Amino acid sequence: MKADPLSVTYARALVELAVEADRLRPVLDEVRAFAGLLRDQKDLRVFIESPAISGGSKRQVLERSFRGKMDDLVLDFIELVVQKHRQFLLLDIFAYVEVLYDQVVGRVHVEATSAVELPDSIKEELTGVLGVKLARTVVLVNKVRPEILGGLVLRYGDLVADSSLKTSLEKITHNLYSHKPGSELIHEN
């Protein structure tokens, strides 16, 4: 995931505070809930992100609406971001909090693309093998794309392992067209 450096800085600060307070999981839950509100409640998002509304007014509404209903650490963090006029970064910050949470707990997400839905037994086996290879807990997401014809494409971060039938056929086709018959023959005078 590529993120804005400022979003990453804020996300790191929140995660570090949550780890220090031994409240990482509750903070993550609150971050997910508030991010969901921002995505689902357009009025809230417009209110929070609007430069026409003062930070003081936003803080008052946040306090009345969320104090006592939300983890204080998260609410204080949101208020700080609003005070610093960075409220437009909240969703990016929260998305990167998810990434940092995974790093802290030793979890990685791997996308397995196949032509058909993988059976649960294959998913479990693949998750186990990848977990051992990566020395992490693997969360496997199976995406179905019939156009790959067969095989499997694995994505982990920026790494891609493509053993799809479509890619194999494309390589064969490329090799056939790039081969110049007769060029390997030696002509003697």
Query: Do 18 and 95 sit in the same domain of this protein?
Result: yes
Domain ranges, residue 77: 5-103
Choose one of 80, 103, 126: the last residue of a domain.
103
Q: Is residue 114 part of a domain?
A: yes
DSSP letters of the chain? Answer: ----HHHHHHHHHHHHHHHHTT-HHHHHHHHHHHHHHHHH-HHHHHHHH-TTS-HHHHHHHHHHHHBTTB-HHHHHHHHHHHHTT-GGGHHHHHHHHHHHHHHHHTEEEEEEEESSPPPHHHHHHHHHHHHHHHTSEEEEEEEE-GGG-SSEEEEETTEEEE--HHHHHHHHHHHHHH--TTTT-----
Q: Is residue 183 part of a domain?
A: no
pLDDT by position in tens, the chain (length 189): 566 889 999 999 999 999 999 999 999 999 999 999 999 999 999 999 998 999 899 999 999 999 999 999 999 999 999 999 999 999 999 999 998 999 898 898 899 999 999 999 999 999 999 989 988 888 899 999 999 888 899 998 888 888 888 888 888 888 877 766 665 555 565
Q: Which residues contact 27 (CB under 8 A, 6 or more apart)?
A: 14, 15, 17, 18, 71, 73, 74, 97
pLDDT at 156: 87
pLDDT at 159: 87
Query: Do 69 and 112 sit in the same domain of this protein?
Result: no
Query: Do 83 and 120 sit in the same domain of this protein?
Result: no
Query: Do 54 and 130 sit in the same domain of this protein?
Result: no
Total domains in the chain come to: 2
Query: Do 113 and 67 sit in the same domain of this protein?
Result: no
Give how far Cα 2 sits from Cα of 92, 101, 102, Å.
10, 16, 15
Query: Do 93 and 118 sit in the same domain of this protein?
Result: no
Question: What CATH number does the domain containing 62 carry?
Answer: 1.10.520.20
Query: Do 35 and 111 sit in the same domain of this protein?
Result: no
Q: Is residue 16 part of a domain?
A: yes
Q: Is residue 77 part of a domain?
A: yes
Pick the closest to residue 154 from 165, 143, 146 (CA basis): 143
- One-letter amino acid for residue 179 of the chain: H
Query: Do 71 and 146 sit in the same domain of this protein?
Result: no
Q: Is residue 148 part of a domain?
A: yes
Query: Do 130 and 156 sit in the same domain of this protein?
Result: yes
Choose one of 79, 103, 127: the last residue of a domain.
103
Dist. CA 4–CA 9, nearest whole Å = 9
pLDDT at 28: 95
Q: Is residue 189 part of a domain?
A: no
- Evaluate whether 10 touches 19 at the Cβ level (below 8 Å): no
Q: Is residue 171 part of a domain?
A: yes
Left, alpha or beta for 119 (phi > 0: left; psi -120 to 50: alpha)? beta
pLDDT at 177: 79
Query: Do 136 and 161 sit in the same domain of this protein?
Result: yes
Residue 175 buriedness (CB in 10 A; 0-12 / 13-18 / 19+): exposed
Query: Do 55 and 80 sit in the same domain of this protein?
Result: yes
